[in-house]
Structure 1
């Protein structure tokens, strides 16, 4: 069998870092870990070609060569996902699909014409798919309620990747999260009992990347790295000597819940293992909203104190913030801005709430008759896909103002500096490897922020302070300023997209009001 594996195009979003990648001469933030793991599960005798369309699109020769096309997708990729399915069908190819989006919304792939839906977790459903091919089945939907033992998951096919195209390479230690936040679909996809790989497995995967010459960021893409704290600590204790022996070859980042602040041992182990960045779902500083979405773990201690404790230990925080929860009080955008300023968090993944299919939130809103069709595109420039409890115009305008101000260059530079000055300056080595990619990005940052913009005096003062007082954090600091270039530009796109949608909403409301007035006048 000749299989063409395709990862669809990502539209511009918070995570795409398009402007930053352009400045560095990179093509994509990170590769599709799920798809290259699937590649490792396919029969050894199969011939495989791989295309990440964000790096290098497949060719017409690839389409002519293959017997079957295998496509994975997340919801934000749905437009290109549909196009690829339909192209495969038009060319007479068998099309198989899988990944988070078709698992959550299988009818989308079916309507597009996919022959095989390999849903849920591949360790269970790939064998079903292969058995169906052996039988000669022309189509099929393969599902499994079983949660597989990830200690049996093979090493992903990193060899299929053009490593030089990516900012970060992804690996996975665990699946699942013990919490039950109402808006999150992780527990539906992967369960509430975190399953982990063994330390030996993880070190074997990292060794492959090390031997391939990878040296930048390694993103451990767990749903919650500390969900199984016992096993996470066992892994970290094995990882520390491995990193020390190789002079800390990678810069590690991951996702973790804010209750990390309650575990001093875990924080210390993560820092000593080479972790430098944590993504944390803070969502909102409003306690009432946190309780309403069942995110009780964020209410046990003051949020600012928890963030500052983690930062002071040496971990840079990236955070998720959301507006539009039920019962949210006016001024939520302003309160999120104030929280980001107080903690100095440089990158706040800030969006309007979207109801993901089959989450607790989706099910509740469906019962209440509040779901809407056609609006939800699930990125920062999208109005929510349900009727909120606050006036949508008020919410969106408040959100636009907050997003714009958070990524104003001057406040961004100020809080990034404070965040890094707050941090313990320890790193495993003085400076990560500097190549032409880093030099391109850092030179662009110096030119744009240190010469062209009104930030020039602030930039150079902070530049020297970090270089002299926190030299081991200098690489991280300059990279964050480089990431800022994406947000300085992206905020314009978010504002324009939302204003366009808001105008449509207002027009629809005005038309509806006009029709009501006309009917009332006719009756009178």
Structure 2
């Protein structure tokens, strides 16, 4: 079976990083891990080709070669999913769809032309699909019916199908699921509340596979909560550390975790020694009442600011997500987020307006209250620049304007330099993995790649000479070089990220303004939407 796997295109997002990727001659931040995992679960005697539409177009030769098309993606990719399904059907090719979007909304109009719908986790449903293909069936829907697979049997993803040079970072997965019950999150809907993990041997084998393919850059551990199963995470980390030491620390790691990471010094130490350089936290909001309403109680058990500082002290850079638009939210939520980010110094603070994702607790509650307006959601699907897809408890224009104002303030060039400099000069601890690093002996020191040299020169020119940040930029470089030389390289890379945020500020402003212009004028007085009483935490 000649199988063409297609990964649909993403719209511009906070994480698309186009301007940064241009500097280092890469096209995409991360590869489609789900697609290469599907490829590993399909019969290995099938011929396979993979096209990531974020890297390049599907060629006519590839369409002509294919006997079966497999497409997977997230809600934000649904528009291009529909386009690729239609192109395949125009050529008379059978199409199988799967992934988070298909699993959460299998009857979505974008998927109506697909022949096969392979839902939920592929370890369970792909064998059903393969059996149907072998029986000669021309269509079908395959569901796990609530069952969750044991991921210790998941094979090594087919990383060899990727155009590795196109990606800035690589993706691997250790666990699926999260033990918490945040009302707005669809992770527990898709993967359950009992985190399932691979074995340390499995994960190390995946790292070795990438190493053998020549990969020597960053790796993103895509777990939705890496510490969801703390016991197994602590079994994994020593194995990664040992593997790293034996090979001279070829990889740096980034992952996602819950804020309670800050209460586990052993976990943070082990992560730092394995060379985990950054972690993404879902902080959401500094407003405890909103966190309580959203069911994110784990974020109310200790000071969020102190939690960020504790993680940072281990040399692990904190990235964070923030949401505006919770029920009962008070005016000024955007300003409170800006103040929180400024105090903690978090360099990458993602912001978005609350979205009710299909089948989440939030979705069902709003549907019951008659407040969902999903049919008015932007055609691109859920994105950081979408207005809320439900009737909020305060005027939607107020929420949208606060969001745009807050985002633009966070990434104003001078403010960004000040925040990042404060973070690295005063808070970031020394990289602990370097205590175990033993460089190979060489007569000549290794020179940085020419692409890195060009990227550095571009950042120095734009921020150090061309813009009005020039004086602040050079003073800040000198300050961090003096105060925290061990983290200086990471600091410069973090400064470079604002090349992307500068452009994305304009994207946020334009897209929100366009959506607001399409809203009907608000009447002089409207009845308040149902509110939930906010209880003190």
What is the TM-score normalised by the length of structure 2? Answer: 0.93
- Find the residue that maps to 2:278 and give its secondary structure: strand
Alignment match, 1:521: none
Shift of 1:35: 0.3
Match of 2:107 in 1: 107
Which residue number in structure 2 is paired with residue 426 of structure 1? 431
Aligned to 2:296: 295
Give the Cα–Cα distance (whole angstroms) in 2 for the partners of residues 495 and 8 of structure 1: 25
User: How many residues matched?
Assistant: 511
- Inter-partner Cα distance in structure 2 for 1:24 and 1:86: 34
**1:439-484 CA-partner distances (Å, limit 9, x unpaired):** 2322221111111111111111222333344333223212212221
Instruction: State the distance in 1 between where 2:452 and 2:340 align.
Output: 31
* Residue 450 (structure 1) aligns with: 464
**Retained in 1: the 8 A contact 2:81–2:110?**
no
Confirm whether residue 246 of structure 1 aligns to residue 247 of structure 2. yes
Range with greater deviation from structure 2 (66-75 or 456-465): 456-465
1:4-23 mapped onto 2 (5 Å cutoff): 4-23=4-23
Structure 1 residue 433: Cα displacement: 8.4
**1:443 partner SS:** helix
8 Å contact kept, 2:3–2:70? yes
Please say if residues 10 and 54 of structure 1, whose CA atoms lie closer than 8 Å, have aligned partners that are also in contact.
yes
Find out whether 1:417 has 2:417 as its counterpart. Answer: no
Q: 1:378 to 1:137 in 2, by over 3 A?
A: same
Q: Within the alignment, does 1:347 sit opposite 2:348 as a pair?
A: yes
Which stretch has the larger CA shift, 389-398 or 207-216? 207-216
Q: Counterparts of 1:465 and 1:111 in 2: how far apart (Å)?
A: 54
Match of 1:81 in 2: 81
Find the aligned partners of 1:433 and 1:301 in 2 and give their Cα distance. 45
Q: Identify the residue that residue 126 of structure 1 maps to in structure 2.
A: 126
Tell me the equivalent position of 2:201.
200
Q: In the aligned structure 2, how far is the partner of 1:54 from the partner of 1:433?
A: 31
| Contact 2:88 2:94 (C-alpha < 8 Å) held by counterparts | yes
Using the alignment, how far apart are the partners of 1:24 and 1:12 within structure 2?
18
Instruction: Give unpaired runs (5+ residues) of structure 2.
Output: 440-445, 526-537
Partner of 2:535: none
Distance in 2 (alpha carbons) for counterparts of 1:127 and 1:109? 26
Compute the displacement of 1:24 (Å): 1.9
Distance (Å, rounded) in 2 between the aligned partners of 1:60 and 1:156: 26
Deviation at 1:427, TM superposition (A): 4.6
TM superposition shift of 1:208: 1.1
1:375 is aligned to 2:416: no
Could you tell me whether the CA contact under 8 Å between 1:37 and 1:156 is conserved in 2?
yes
Matches within 5 A, 1:304-453: 304-372=305-373, 373-376=375-378, 377-421=381-425, 422-429=427-434, 434-453=448-467
> Are 2:36 and 2:157, in contact at CA under 8 Å, matched by a contact in 1?
yes
Match for residue 518 of structure 1? none
**Partner Cα distance (1:212, 1:109) in 2:** 39
Once the two structures are TM-superposed, the CA of residue 509 in structure 1 deviates from its matched residue by: 2.5
Indicate whether 1:69 and 2:69 are aligned. yes
The 1-side partners of 2:166 and 2:372 are apart by 39
Contact 2:177 2:193 in 1 (8 A): yes
**Contact 1:316–1:419, Cα closer than 8 Å, also in 2:** no
- CA–CA distance in structure 2, aligned partners of residues 314 and 409 of structure 1: 24
Deviation at 1:83, TM superposition (A): 0.3
Q: Which residue of 2 aligns with 1:509?
A: 521
Q: Is this contact kept in 2: 1:177–1:192, CA < 8 A?
A: yes
- For the residue of structure 2 that corresponds to 1:210, the secondary structure is helix
The whole-number CA distance in structure 2 between the counterparts of 1:124 and 1:445 is 48
What residue is the counterpart of 1:167 in the other structure?
Answer: 168
Gaps of 5+ in 1: 515-524
Larger helix percent: 1
| Corresponding position of 1:517 | none
Partner SS state of residue 387, structure 1: coil
Shifted more, 234-243 versus 375-384: the winner is: 375-384
Residue aligning to 2:530: none
Deviations 1:364-398 (A, max 9, x none): 00000101122243222211111000111111111
**Cross-structure match for 2:52:** 52
Contact 2:37-2:157 at 8 Å conserved across structures = yes
Residues 79, 110 of structure 2: 8 Å contact kept: no
Matched, 1:461 2:475: yes
Q: Secondary structure at the match of 1:89?
A: helix
